[in-house]
Chains A and B, each alone.
Chain A
């Protein structure tokens, strides 16, 4: 289980997260929705200790992430797959080497690594791309390799940072299908941060709306679709009028 407890984080005196609290249950895929720049990726980076909170904490399997010593943090990271917004593949390495990198760290034998790489590439429909370099792949293919790199580790959790951003609708739908497939086949717990509402409806078991540094509403896909909260409604309907106007026109329905 991943617990965000009253998380605060700011940059250059500007608060980004201000009391972010959310529980991600084992086995579910939680989608964190929010505007661009609202702090979704910042929250995600706290889970693997890439950022430290100004206040509050993130707890994974009972361990407070920012209090872990280096060895235990590494052990935690080995249980978590992270899919970056732009894939973040090491561009000097082939697809195979990229996927095998984390496996080598886990001390897997070379034959087992080959099997895992093949299995992961098959899962993301990229079988036979082992020897290609990231620069030879399209944006969508790179994201699929990023997902394969995370899945190959057989992690307990996978964190997806804007997995469909910048992709055409068909490729985005392919990525959504892969996220669903990964959960069905491996039972992995997922956290997906996105502003793509269609993707959120497809991959999410529950959806949380991040607004002004905190969770505005969290609920099942159906609950979010039927919400009366003006801020959430405005976001899911993609209406351009000011959020503040909608907010003041409504008393506020939270969670």
Chain B
């Protein structure tokens, strides 16, 4: 039992060490600006712009469900305009960033790990090295920067969509007027509700890209190894999003 705990602890420390080492490599790669700046724009489109539809889709249905569940919970006990309060707070503080983060852990994290893993096993990463490129600057930095910059933008759009769909549901299905919904929305609103969600989403973007790059670039053998790296990237990212979510709640709320 003690051996198992020791082994797990050692494994955890090794993992932390790898992330730390990789962050050092990324910091070194950031200095090679001619290599990563142009490539980052491409990644911003792939990681950010192309993730907007799925983020909006999730947010739209979340807004609908939140409005209906709030109404179901509040009926007869709490004034109905609190539907706006609950939809706004929940979307901005929690579900906007976390649900979008979990969805993008699958879409973006899996994509990065599979792409870089395949490049590793087909020697494309080695080819970059022989052409005098730093693979970290060429492959990892653009993805990490793009995800860190674009996640808050995607989540901001998801927040707008979630609140809008909640409002439309309230107005059309709950006999709540726009004025009442907005009253509820404004009731306990603080600017912090928005930046808290955006700070969280920024950290999720950074984490998902880092994990995807580490898992992808550490692939050593064939297709099975790529598959395992992809699964690991998604599972680990999802778990770490929940851990980070709790961390920010403790630190910032």
Contact = CB atoms under 8 A, between A and B. Distances in A.
A193 to B, nearest CB: 14
B123 A88 contact: yes
Interface stretch (B129-137, B142-150, B204-212): B129-137
13 contacts: A48-B130, A70-B134, A74-B134, A77-B129, A82-B130, A86-B122, A88-B124, A88-B127, A89-B124, A89-B127, A90-B127, A91-B122, A149-B131
B131 A84 contact: no
Interface in A43-85: 45, 48-50, 70, 74-75, 77-78, 80-82, 84-85
A86 B130 contact: no
Contacts of A102: 131-132
User: Number of contact residues on B: which range applies?
Assistant: 10 to 19
A141 interface: no
A105 B127 contact: no
| 6 A-B pairs with least C-beta separation | A82-B130, A88-B123, A88-B127, A102-B131, A77-B132, A74-B132
B132 A86 contact: no
A84 B126 contact: yes
Contact of A78 (B122, B132, B134): B132
A221 interface: no
A101 interface: yes
Contacts of B134: 70, 74
Contacts of B126: 45, 50, 84, 88
Contacts of A50: 126, 129-130
A101 B122 CA distance: 17
A95 B126 CA distance: 18
Nearest to A76: B132
User: Number of contact residues on A: which range applies?
Assistant: 20 to 34
A105 to B, nearest CB: 5
A10 to B, nearest CB: 16
A84 B122 CA distance: 10
Interface in B125-180: 126-134
Contacts of B131: 77, 101-102, 105, 149, 153
Contacts of B123: 84-86, 88
Contacts of A101: 128, 131, 133
A102 B133 CA distance: 8
Contacts of B127: 82, 84, 88-90
A90 B131 CA distance: 12
B109 to A, nearest CB: 19
Contacts of A84: 123, 126-127
B130 A77 contact: yes
A80 B130 contact: yes
B133 to A, nearest CB: 6
A86 B121 CA distance: 11
B20 to A, nearest CB: 19
B195 to A, nearest CB: 36
Interface in A88-139: 88-91, 101-102, 105-106
Given A89-B127, A149-B131, 20 more contacts: A45-B126, A49-B129, A50-B130, A74-B134, A75-B132, A77-B131, A78-B132, A84-B123, A84-B127, A86-B123, A88-B122, A88-B126, A90-B127, A91-B122, A101-B128, A101-B131, A105-B131, A105-B132, A105-B133, A106-B132
